Amino acid sequence: MKKTLILALASASAGIACAQDTVIFAGAWTSNGPAADNTPLSDQSQPFLYEEGNDYAVIGKVSNTTYNPWADITGGSDSFTFSFDLKNVDVTVQNSQWCDIFSLKLSNGSKLQLQINQVTQKLSLYNDDADGNQQTNAQIVDTTLTLDSFSDWKTFSLVADADAGKLSIYLDGVLVSSTADSTWTGSSVSGLQFGSEYAGTRKLGGSMEINNITLTNGAVYPTPEPTTATLSLLALAGLCARRRRK
């Protein structure tokens, strides 16, 4: 599985004001267990499912047990970046046509939610108001992604840039969707939940593997990971440069 850089964690439970580009929530797992600096969850009865020897955790519903971990967040800024690795999304939607991979509660009471449509298998980003209603001018972002996009490990990133008034979605560092939206600007993340609408009933009936979760203050735009061909060309260029110097 590919590795994602995890920045130093400032615990979300500490309530300390965070500087730009500071990680305020983190979760990572290796075959030796959870990372030592994982952010504590607000409800230990809703953990990530981790089994010894796996280099990932699981969210959703497994063997009739629900794993929808959530946490309250403090110290956030109005620009933020939310990133994680995802694989093997197996979905059974409960209670509606839609279910949530994640839900970010914002300080203005609204929620940014990555949702799966049971019929089309497509992923969209919704912005619901404090009562769970879709905002009339809210962003419904067609991510152009489907469940098949995550048959192998992929890094999903949501960049909320308050200065630009823009939401951008990246997959493995490549921009797949971007849109202007003002419904969330001026708000910071105050809570997050996986596999469910935050404190709601719209839950993920299936499961998915997840790792390398980071919620970071500031709009941190990712860059594509170099391909094997790119690395080979760089190595060849370096070899040619050495020969010219001789």
pLDDT digits (tens, 9 = 90+) for 56-96: 999 988 888 889 999 999 999 999 999 999 998 777 655 55
Residue 5 lies in a domain: no
Residue 115 lies in a domain: yes
Greater confidence, 122 or 139?
122
Give the range among 100-114, 115-129, 210-224 with minimum mean pLDDT.
Answer: 115-129
Residue 6 lies in a domain: no
- Residue 243 pLDDT greater than 60, yes or no: no
d(Cα 167, Cα 200) in Å, to the nearest integer?
A: 23
Q: Can you read off the two tokens belonging to residue 208?
A: 């998915």
- Residue 38 pLDDT greater than 50, yes or no: yes
Q: The domain containing residue 40 runs over which residues?
A: 12-245
Q: How many domains does the chain have?
A: 1
Q: Report pTM.
A: 0.79
Amino acid sitting at position 160: A
Q: What pLDDT is stored for residue 136 in this prediction?
A: 45
The pLDDT > 90 percentage for the chain reads 41
Which CATH number is 206's domain given?
A: 2.60.120.200
β-sheet bridge partners, residue 25: 215
Residue 89 lies in a domain: yes
Greater confidence, 199 or 174?
174
Q: DSSP label at 149?
A: G
Residue 63 lies in a domain: yes
- Residue 9 pLDDT greater than 50, yes or no: no
Number of H helices, E strands in the chain: 1, 16
pLDDT grade for 21, boundaries at 50, 70 and 90: confident
